[in-house]
Structure 1
Amino acid sequence: MLGLIRASAISVRYPVITPSFSSRLCRAKQAEGESPTRPARRLSNRKALGERIERSIDAFDRDIAQPENELYLLVLDDGTGSIAGTACLFSKVGQTWPFYTYRLTQIVHHSRELGQRYCEDMLHLSNDFGGATEVGGLFLHSACRANGTGRLLARSRYMLIGQFPNRFSCRIMAELRGWVAPNGSTPFWDSVGRNFFHMPLAEADRYGGINGNQFIADLMPKYPIYVSMLPQPVRPLIGKVHESSAPALKLLMNEGFRLTEHVDIFDAGPVVECRASDLKAIADRECGVVASLGNQPKGRPALMSKGSGRDFRCWVDHTSSDPAGLTRQGERFAEVGEEVAHVEF
């Protein structure tokens, strides 16, 4: 049953999340170190960025009964019309080309004659996440990292999933940036991938982002890798998150994600997953109708969303405990009579 919502009539500039449907995203500032993913994954290639925007526009405009291979690109409007951040959803990975991770397993060796028994960690090339929805592409300008703006940008993806569950898989996953040395090198890549690709990590990552992952299937070793055969300093870095990605990992874990036995094939960063129905933004979401406009925001902060297709919007508002419902913070986001979804922020 839909509750009634009381909204404020104040007119203030607040950040809001919208679908990307403009080339103005090409002018978005994406400073080094502001993404929880590897720097090479940034869409610095203008052509690749334009293609993603077009894919996203097409996905938002189509009626979709079930996920296929869509990309949804959300942007953070900082309240002045400038784009200060982006977030992506890949509705069903592993369709156009395989989606690879390394799965970390153990094997036990036992010699009765020598009286020796020991466990070995092994890395297996895996396609286990084929068909899942991936959340990623999170960029946020440093000037906007305050007052929960990063959390708004990250969680807007889950509000989109909750609003249109048929467009996404019931299994949600994310990759995070692995450990990088102070000099900028990636020890895991230098010890494993570089031996087979003969190129720097940034070049391999950029190539995969533009041309797909078939080259991984062509060149990556098909047999398991014994972790004990890697250089000793590299072993404890497998599954270790880069310090710049630690806040992103915390957000994911708070939302309901859990660590898996999988790591990124390039830098061995952690991979997390969650059932869509277990995401807090989905499990705890409620719906209501704006019934009136108040004068002042009050109550607890809430994440709110509305609209379909290009009209999807997500922002932070306030909820009150009385049956009248919510207090809205910006007259351009929702009007009297509109239905909105909300969850505690």
Structure 2
Amino acid sequence: MTYVLRPAAAGDLAALYEMAKLTGGGFTNLPPNRDTLTAKLERSAAALARTEDRHVDDLFVMVLENTATGQVRGTCQIFTMVGQHWPFYSYRLGTLTQVSKELNRTFRADMLTLSTDLEGASEVGGLFLHPGERAGGLGLLLARSRYLFIRQHRARFSDRTLAELRGVIDEAGGSPFWDGLAGKFFGMSFQEADEFNAVHGNQFIADLMPKTPIYTAMLPEAARQVIGVPHPTGRAAMRMLEHEGFTHDSYVDIFDGGPTMVAQTDRIRSVQDAVDSRIARIGPVGGGEVRLAAAGRLIDFRAAYARIETLSGGEIAIDAEAAAMLKVGLGDTICHVGRQ
């Protein structure tokens, strides 16, 4: 397989912009706005250039490149610490139980409360794979490579990691959740609010969103039905996150009601199960298995599928194509984890 994940560079702007136009809306981290994307690339470049391992507010933008053609066919992002420039808002799902002795009834009301509970967590997001490439495990390569990057730079990340999944959006690009709740307080469509948030941040949420809890029973049925439900195209991503150990407990996105998945960083499966091995042989690998492998730090980070065979003493053999994509040689150490 000729695909490798690497840090994005300024020259990837055009490819990122073209992919952003294909998302169909709701991808706050990948807006079809050149200035915003340029700012993201500049911020990522600054983070990659900083060599000291301190936990500060960084963003890393990655791209998936087909090394045979040079085309960029996917992208993802990793935030080391959310909620530093402006509050990181979520709705927290909760239940209020009340008892009436006169009626001999117990009432349980589901509620949405504006929350910044997840402030300070790391975030994996902005994942998009070109529609023409959604086969052959490339989605898994994009998603799981982020966790190997976190493992390789663990001191830069928080003890908790989150992932926001896009919520349900109708064929016209609207959000039933937004229309039933937040839209009533903002005087703008979901698409307008989503675009504004992507470019300017969400301080306007703090300015205009009601701070009192919202009883879900007061929302339209269409809005209630999509609370915590991922967009149909995100169901596979939700399963991948669950496989990694992420859970959807009580948080949803304030714009579209999509689920926010959370995991303890050190318990993410790809972080926990990955191992480091020294390369003793490069060439044809008859045995072994195809694994997800990564090498290098910061700007030199690379991740790809590789055929790896464990040799005596714990060293490994790796196929030549993968070694070339990872830019490693004999005696180098790589990080790798099972493909499934």
Same fold (TM over 0.5): yes
Contact 1:104 1:121 in 2 (8 A): yes
| Corresponding residue SS for 1:208 | helix
Find the counterpart in structure 1 of residue 151 from structure 2.
162
Find the counterpart in structure 2 of residue 312 from structure 1.
301
Pair 1:344–1:239, CA change in 2 (3 A)? same
How far residue 280 of structure 1 moved from its aligned partner, in angstroms, is 1.2
Contact 1:32 1:39 in 2 (8 A): no
In structure 1, the gaps of 5 or more residues are 1-12
Deviations 1:227-283 (A, max 9, x none): 011112321211111111001111111111111200000011001011111111111
Find the aligned partners of 2:108 and 2:267 in 1 and give their Cα distance.
34
1:174 to 155, 159, 163: 163
Contact 2:282 2:317 in 1 (8 A): no
1:104 to 63, 87, 93: 93
1:234 to 200, 223, 236: 223
Deviations 1:75-126 (A, max 9, x none): 1011222111110011100111000000000001211112221100000000
Pair 1:48–1:32, CA change in 2 (3 A)? closer
Using the TM superposition, name which of 136-145 and 58-67 deviates more: 58-67
Using the TM superposition, name which of 92-101 and 143-152 deviates more: 143-152
How far residue 320 of structure 1 moved from its aligned partner, in angstroms, is 2.3
| Aligned amino acid, residue 133 of structure 2 | C
Pair 1:91–1:41, CA change in 2 (3 A)? closer
Deviations 1:302-333 (A, max 9, x none): 11111112101111112224435232351422
| Corresponding residue SS for 1:340 | strand
Normalising by structure 1, what TM-score?
A: 0.91
How far residue 184 of structure 1 moved from its aligned partner, in angstroms, is 3.3
How far residue 40 of structure 1 moved from its aligned partner, in angstroms, is 5.5
Find the aligned partners of 1:325 and 1:111 in 2 and give their Cα distance.
68
2:40 to 13, 38, 52: 52
Find the aligned partners of 1:33 and 1:21 in 2 and give their Cα distance.
20
2:123 to 134, 144, 153: 134
Find the aligned partners of 2:102 and 2:19 in 1 and give their Cα distance.
60
Find the aligned partners of 1:215 and 1:312 in 2 and give their Cα distance.
36
Find the aligned partners of 1:297 and 1:176 in 2 and give their Cα distance.
39
Find the aligned partners of 2:137 and 2:77 in 1 and give their Cα distance.
18
| Corresponding residue SS for 2:250 | strand
1:77 to 65, 84, 101: 65
Contact 2:280 2:317 in 1 (8 A): no
Using the TM superposition, name which of 315-324 and 287-296 deviates more: 315-324
Find the counterpart in structure 2 of residue 277 from structure 1.
266
| Corresponding residue SS for 2:192 | helix
Contact 1:60 1:310 in 2 (8 A): yes
Find the counterpart in structure 2 of residue 25 from structure 1.
13
2:319 to 307, 317, 328: 328
Find the counterpart in structure 2 of residue 201 from structure 1.
190
How far residue 24 of structure 1 moved from its aligned partner, in angstroms, is 2.6
Using the TM superposition, name which of 305-314 and 119-128 deviates more: 305-314
Structure 1 vs Structure 2: percent identity of aligned residues?
38
Aligned length: 332
Find the counterpart in structure 2 of residue 10 from structure 1.
none
Find the counterpart in structure 2 of residue 263 from structure 1.
252
Using the TM superposition, name which of 63-72 and 194-203 deviates more: 63-72
More helix by share: 2
Relative contact order, higher structure (CA 8 A, sep 6+):
1
How far residue 31 of structure 1 moved from its aligned partner, in angstroms, is 6.8
Contact 1:68 1:95 in 2 (8 A): no
Find the counterpart in structure 1 of residue 84 from structure 2.
95
Find the aligned partners of 2:243 and 2:250 in 1 and give their Cα distance.
19
Normalising by structure 2, what TM-score?
A: 0.93
Find the aligned partners of 2:12 and 2:113 in 1 and give their Cα distance.
42
Contact 1:241 1:270 in 2 (8 A): yes
Contact 1:41 1:205 in 2 (8 A): no
Pair 1:298–1:203, CA change in 2 (3 A)? farther
How far residue 32 of structure 1 moved from its aligned partner, in angstroms, is 6.0
Find the aligned partners of 1:58 and 1:184 in 2 and give their Cα distance.
34
Find the counterpart in structure 1 of residue 334 from structure 2.
340
How far residue 296 of structure 1 moved from its aligned partner, in angstroms, is 3.9
Contact 1:259 1:271 in 2 (8 A): yes
Deviations 1:278-305 (A, max 9, x none): 1111111111111122224642111111
| Aligned amino acid, residue 237 of structure 1 | V
Find the aligned partners of 2:115 and 2:52 in 1 and give their Cα distance.
29
| Aligned amino acid, residue 32 of structure 2 | S
| Corresponding residue SS for 1:303 | strand
| Corresponding residue SS for 1:181 | coil
1:143 has 2:132 as partner: yes
How far residue 337 of structure 1 moved from its aligned partner, in angstroms, is 1.6
| Aligned amino acid, residue 75 of structure 2 | T
1:250 has 2:239 as partner: yes
